[in-house]
Amino acid sequence: MPLNFQVEKWSDALPELLPMFGMLWDDVAVDKDRFVAVCDQNKYKACEEAGILHLVTARSDGRLVGYFLMLVTPNPHYYEQGLMALTDMYYLLPQYRVGTNGLKMFSFMEQTIRAMGCVKMYTSHKLHRDRSLMFEALGLTPTDMIYSKVLA
């Protein structure tokens, strides 16, 4: 199952992306008894229009089988030090999580953000969907542990 990776506009891919957002939620979400995935299309559109939303898609025979969304912007903590990319979400259909497809999707994303002038990227994984080995194979270094608490 060879995959093709490319940069696409979020608004162009949206009809195919929407069903996959629910699949991601089913796969990795925590606190499912309290939170339901609902895509704020207006917020994503605003990010796209502001030029900070970056989408890489994975396609097999033209069919969307995965995606990787990042927010690319200067980090206010590192004034004038360059663009930084923060993962919003990524997903690959389970049947395509074989071989090196995940590595290839992440590598392609890295190439595209480097070409944009990014100097640093941040990504994460859910602890129950540990991606540490893949991230380390890609040269990423663990730097933070994120904690959450439902407040309402």
Residue 140 token pair:
């990423």
Write down the pTM of the prediction: 0.89
Q: Parse the chain into domains and list their residue ranges.
A: 4-137
Q: What pLDDT was estimated at residue 3?
A: 96
Q: What pLDDT was estimated at residue 105?
A: 96
Listed as ranges, residues in the chain with pLDDT below 70 are: 1
Q: What pLDDT was estimated at residue 4?
A: 97
Amino acid at 41: Q
Q: What pLDDT was estimated at residue 125?
A: 84
Q: What pLDDT was estimated at residue 72?
A: 98
Superfamily of domain 4-137: Gcn5-related N-acetyltransferase (GNAT) (3.40.630.30)
Report how far residue 22's alpha carbon sits from residue 29's, in angstroms, rounded to the nearest whole number.
Answer: 10
115-124: pLDDT as tens digits: 999 999 999 8
Q: What pLDDT was estimated at residue 61?
A: 96
Measured at the CA of 42, the angle between CA 93 and CA 144, to 5 degrees, comes to 60
3-class state of residue 148 by DSSP: coil
Buried b (16+ CB within 10 A) or exposed e, 17-54: beebbeebbeeeeeeeeeeeeeeeeeebeebbeeebbb
